[in-house]
Amino acid sequence: MTYLFNQFNLSSPSWAVFSRSLAAIFGGYVLATSSSLFIGQLLLNSVGKYQAIHIGLLLSFIVYACAAMWVFSVSSASKAWGGLIKLNVFLFVATWLLMQLNGVAS
Amino acid sequence: MKDNFRQSMKWFHTWVGLIVGWILFFMFITGTLGYFYQEITRWMEPERPFIEHSISNEQLIDIAQNYLTKNAQGIDEWDIYLPTVRDQNLRVGWRHAPEAGKKRGRYQRAVLDINTGAKIDSRATGGGRLLYRMHYRLHYLSSKISYWIVGFCSMLMLLAVITGVVIHKKIFTDFFTFRAKKGLPGWLDIHNVLSVIALPFHFMITYSGLLFFLFTYMALSTNLQTNENEYSEMRKEIFPRSAHLESANQPSAMLDISSLYQQVKMSWKNDDLSTIEVFAAHDINAQVLFIRHETDITYNPKDQVMVSAITGDVIPQASKEYTAAGMIHNGFFSLHEGQFAGPVARWIYFFTGLIGTAMIASGLILWTTKRKPQQMKKANGPDFGYRLVEQLNIGTIVGLPIAIAAYFYANRLLPIDMIDRVNWEANIMFISWALLLIYPALRPANKAWSEQLQLAALVYMALPLVNLLTTDKHLINSLVQQDWGFAGFDLTFLAVGACFAFAAYKYKTLHVDKKVRKPTIKQEVIKESGQGSKQGETFGNEGLLNAPQVSKGNS
Amino acid sequence: MLLLSSLCFTAMALFCLAMSKHRQQIIAQEVPKLVVRFFRPAAWLLLTFTAYLSVELFGWSIGPALLFGALTMAILLLTLLLTYQAKIVPQLAILLSLISSISLLNS
């Protein structure tokens, strides 16, 4: 396996690639989920609950893809993890706030 | 990683494409065959009669209704499938009442003989349906596991498509650039051209493929946002169903369906009718739904006409309400499946699918081509990883088409009354693929390419011959009967075989000429024979130098 | 469908003519600069017309899908011809556009 990684003369050792892959797969999945929750709340009042959820789900694959690409484009694995965690926390908090707002409104 | 965004995307593209490339190749090739699954099934059931050219829809409907009245008594739901360009036999189907604890009942089908009105007993076969189901069911795995594997691969495919666009700087100025060189630039151009010309298709097929199992993949999100009732309500909103009456358990005499058809005929052309669905047959609530060939990728209310089978009145239907997102979702499904496509569009779908397959193949070959010079300089021969990729390439890119031919051979050659015949057809396909994956490990790479190409040419050329010896539905008869469903199949086999033969011949001449690199494996897949010819005329010493080491490395 | 493909082929051939690299491949003699300037707009015009035609013939949903399919096939053919038989591209483009305009007028 190490051959596969050494082949490209990465500045970071192979575990960094492994770490990034985990970040892309799991961090990206959580991000896809949190973004779909966020969109589900954001559009709740304008297009109705089910369609809002649905739009969030349709876009989740695009979010996932962008997240994975981003993870592999930043300069280090820890930066990738940090960015993903920050963004996820932000989305969850924003979703929670919107839920409060929507809850009051309805 | 790399400082430059494009550089890191290039790295990402390479590895994302490589790790699941072979599974994607398998998914693309079986999926592409799926565009002709009805035609394949018909070929694999050679007991079915040739096409009857002059028979009216009314006569066909009468035959089907007679059969169903006799053989599907007490059944509420009937379907009649009229002969179409794709499946040229009259077929019927009916759904049994659900068994205890099950949601839906068993579905039974029959192909009818137009002359006798009786069922035609065909050999047991998985047909085209089994073959195309492999592209998302992966055959041996449980459905849950295979959906997740397929989803993972599709996600990587989506990433490969997007990163591919990102790294391709001059997508429009290089639009037509295809330099017929050998070696790296040649393969790079092939890969680029194949990717760019069908880019909308590649994106559409990958994204829509992911959408098919949207609710499986994103179950976490839906579970957080909906409870069970809300979830099923949401599903109903996204995939609306047309309503029909249930049986009221009051038997009543039904009118002839062919007489009901008269009303429908006025609004459609005569040959548009494709399917008839009967609900609550022989009941006071009996309804007949006439469906014509799809004319819209979402839903056109004019494609369906509902008629009461008791009074003969047309029942106006409330049109299905789609949400905007639901429209997009269903539209992508329909684009993926291509059910709306007519004959020409279907062939274009098929070729575009092959372009996708060839794109994956060329990407995989590109990986080895790029690393070959460096690998060959190594003292102990090429690395294990390199050899593995090369062997998987040979075993999949040429091996899988041979394995698919083996599936067709199994259909013709296995004993008709064999137990578990359906499964054995597929087993034989996978056993041959496994053998062809192992074979390159025992041979030098260039020998393995050449031998498997020859084998592929041979098996495809011989298929029509085997068909001639084992059935009466062979090429001569089908041409005389003008049955293009059967004839087209045999002719396609011959064409594919000829392309493989050309590739094998090209490989041999190039190889004898000056041990150059691989032939253009991909173009026989997409069946255009010109492309490879200039592939390797002047490539020099490197190949010559490498050849002995390849054999050393591989054996 | 075939009509769409042949129109797409002609449009793409015009695009090719607009690029100096490919023009030299297809046509031996020099083309006046003024004429060259017209190739690209003409190609866009033809492509737009083909898009309009696809929607007109097949509706808003299927039309664009078929248009992309036709484009794919046309470019594939053109790329292969450019590589191996570049000289027949102009003749073929003229022939195909003639056939398609006749079939358009007939329908």
Residue with the larger pLDDT of the pair A75 and A6: A75
Q: Find the Cα–Cα–Cα–Cα dihedral B422, B23, B33, B89, rounded to 10°.
A: 30
C30 CB burial (10 A radius; 0-12, 13-18, 19+): exposed
Does residue B546 contact residue B372 with C-beta atoms inside 8 Å?
yes
pLDDT range class, residue B509, cuts 50, 70, 90? confident
Q: Per the CB < 8 Å rule, is A69 touching B9? A: yes
Asked if residue A4 belongs to a domain, the reply is: no
- Provide the pLDDT for residue B527: 40
Tokens of C66: 């078929």
Residues of chain A above pLDDT 90, percent = 51
What integer pLDDT is reported at residue B512 of this predicted model? 60
pLDDT at B246: 78
- CB distance from A51 to chain B under 8 Å? yes
pLDDT of residue B517: 44
Portion of chain B with pLDDT greater than 90, in percent: 31
Element holding B277 (H helix, E strand): strand B273-279
Q: What is the pLDDT of residue B433?
A: 95
Specify the pLDDT at position B172.
Answer: 60
The predicted-structure confidence for B93-151, as pLDDT tens digits, reads as follows 998 888 877 778 888 889 998 888 888 888 889 889 999 999 998 889 998 899 999 99
Partner residues linked to B460 by β-bridges: none
User: Of B430-434, B446-450, C24-28, which gets the smallest average pLDDT?
Assistant: C24-28
Q: How far apart are CA C31 and CA C9, in angstroms?
A: 21
| Terminal Cα distance for chain A, rounded | 55
HEC secondary structure over C15-57: HHHHCHHHHHHHCCCCCCHHHHHHHHHHHHHHHHHHHHHHHHH
Q: Indicate the SS3 state at residue B49.
A: coil
Supply the pLDDT for residue B271: 66
- What's the mean pLDDT in B78-99? 87
* List of chain B residues whose C-beta atoms are within 8 Å of the C-beta of residue A10: 1
Residue B532's pLDDT is what?
A: 35
The predicted pLDDT at position B549 comes to 32
Give residue-wise pLDDT tens across range C75-91. 888 888 887 877 788 88
Q: Which long-range contacts (CB under 8 A, 24 or more apart) does B538-544 make?
A: B538/B182, B539/B182, B539/B183, B539/B514, B540/B514, B542/B373, B542/B376, B543/B514, B543/B515, B543/B516, B543/B517, B544/B514, B544/B515
Please give the Cα distance from C1 to B348 (Å, whole number).
10
Q: Which of chain A's residues have a Cβ under 8 Å away from the Cβ of B164? A: none
Nearest to B15 by CA among B133, B118, B163, B144: B163
More confident residue, C32 or B460: B460
- CA distance linking residue C60 with residue C49, whole number of Å: 15
pLDDT in tens, B165-181: 888 766 666 666 666 66
Q: How many C-beta atoms lie closer than 10 Å to residue A55's C-beta?
A: 21
User: Does the beta-carbon distance from C76 to B531 stay under 8 Å?
Assistant: no
pLDDT higher than 90, residue B384: no
The secondary structure element, H or E, covering residue B314 is strand B314-315
Identify the band that residue B554 occupies on the pLDDT scale cut at 50, 70 and 90.
Answer: very low
Position A2 in a domain? no
Structure token pair of residue B114: 């137009």
Q: Is residue A64 part of a domain?
A: yes
- Which pLDDT score, from 0 to 100, does residue B486 have? 87
Q: What would the 3-class secondary structure string for B83-119 be? A: CCCCCCCEEEEEECCCCCCCCCCCEEEEEECCCCCCE
The mean pLDDT value for B203-218 works out to 93
Q: Give the range among A4-13, B113-122, B361-370 with minimum mean pLDDT.
A: A4-13
* Residues C1, B197: C-beta atoms closer than 8 Å: no
Query: Which range is least confidently modeled, B69-83, B507-521, B526-540?
Result: B526-540
Interchain pair B207, A69: CB under 8 A: no
Average of per-residue pLDDT across B199-226: 91
State phi, psi for B79 to the nearest 5 degrees.
Answer: -135, 140
Q: Does B200 touch chain C (CB under 8 A)?
A: yes
pLDDT at B72 exceeding the cut of 80: yes
Residue partners of B257: CB distance under 8 A and separation at least 6: B61, B62, B64, B65, B80, B276, B278, B288, B309
Contact B180 C83 (CB under 8 A): yes
Q: Tell whether the model's pLDDT for residue B452 goes beyond 70.
A: yes
pLDDT above 70 (res B511): no
Nearest partner of B404 among B26, B67, B11, B66, judged by Cα: B26
pLDDT score, position B344: 86
pLDDT of residue B175: 64
| pLDDT beyond 60 at C74 | yes
* Interface contact B193, partner C, CB < 8 A: yes
- B497: its two tokens: 């075989």
Taking the Cβ of residue A106 and every Cβ of chain B, the question of whether any pair is shorter than 8 Å is answered with: no
- Least CB–CB distance from B531: residue in C70, C72, C80: C80
Cβ of residue A65 closer than 8 Å to a chain B Cβ: yes
The per-type count for chain A, helices as H runs and strands as E runs, is 6, 0
- Residue-level pLDDT at B209: 94
Count up the domains in chain A and report the number.
1
Residue of A nearest to B12 (CA): A72
Buried (b) or exposed (e) across B487-522, using 16+ Cβ within 10 A?
bbbbebbeebbbbbbbbbbbbeebbeebbbbbbbbb
Q: Would you say residue A80 has pLDDT above 80?
A: yes
Domain assignment of residue A9, yes or no: no
Among the ranges given (B284-298, B487-501, B529-543), the one the predictor scored with the smallest mean pLDDT? B529-543
* Interchain CB distance below 8 Å, C79 and B297: no
Q: Provide the residue range defining the domain that includes A84.
A: 14-105
Question: Is residue B394 pLDDT above 70, yes or no?
Answer: yes
Q: How confident is the model at residue B540 (pLDDT cuts 50, 70, 90)?
A: very low
Confidence of residue A12 (pLDDT cuts 50, 70, 90): low
Model confidence band, residue B539 (pLDDT cutoffs 50, 70, 90): very low
> B307: which 2 tokens?
């008629």
SS (H, E, C) A56-77: HHHHHHHHHHHHHHHHCCCCCH
- pLDDT, mean of residues B514-523: 44
Question: Are residues B193 and C72, on separate chains, in Cβ contact within 8 Å?
Answer: no
Please check whether residue C18 is in contact with residue C43, taking contact to mean a CB–CB distance below 8 angstroms.
yes
Is residue B519 classed as helix, strand or coil in its secondary structure? coil
Predicted confidence band of residue B375 (pLDDT cuts 50, 70, 90): confident
d(CA B446, CA B423): 34
Query: Does position B235 have pLDDT exceeding 90, yes or no?
Result: no
Q: Which residue has the higher pLDDT, B43 or B250?
A: B43
Count Cα atoms within 13 angstroms, Cβ side, for B318: 8
Residues of chain B with Cβ-Cβ distance to A69 below 8 Å are: 9, 12, 159, 162-163, 166
- pLDDT band per the 50, 70, 90 thresholds, residue C20: confident
Query: Chains that contact C by 3+ CB pairs under 8 Å?
Result: B
Which residue has better confidence, A61 or B507?
A61
* Domain boundaries defined on chain C: 2-106
> What CA–CA distance (Å, rounded) separates A98 from C21?
56
Q: Does B548 score more than 50 pLDDT? A: no
Distance CA B291, CA B276 (A): 6
DSSP string, B323-351: -HHHHHHHHHHHHHHTTT--HHHHHHHHH
Q: Note the ipTM here.
A: 0.89
Q: For residue B202, give the H/E element and its range.
A: helix B199-212
Residue A1 lies in a domain: no
pLDDT of B332 reads 92
Average pLDDT over residues B40-53: 87
Chain A interface includes B442 (CB < 8 A): no
Query: Does residue A90 belong to any structural domain of this protein?
Result: yes
* Cα gap B278→B60, rounded to integer Å: 15
Indicate yes or no: CB of C79 within 8 angstroms of CB of B178: yes
Q: Do residues A24 and B163 lie in contact, with contact meaning Cβ atoms separated by under 8 Å?
A: no
**CA separation for the pair C42, B514 (Å, rounded):** 46
> pLDDT tier at B240 (50, 70, 90 boundaries)?
confident
Q: Supply the mean pLDDT for chain B.
A: 83
Q: Could C61 and B297 be called an inter-chain contact, meaning their C-beta atoms sit closer than 8 Å? A: yes
CA distances from B326 to A25, A37, B68, B336, C61 (A): 27, 18, 36, 15, 14
Mean pLDDT for the stretch of residues B495-515:
79
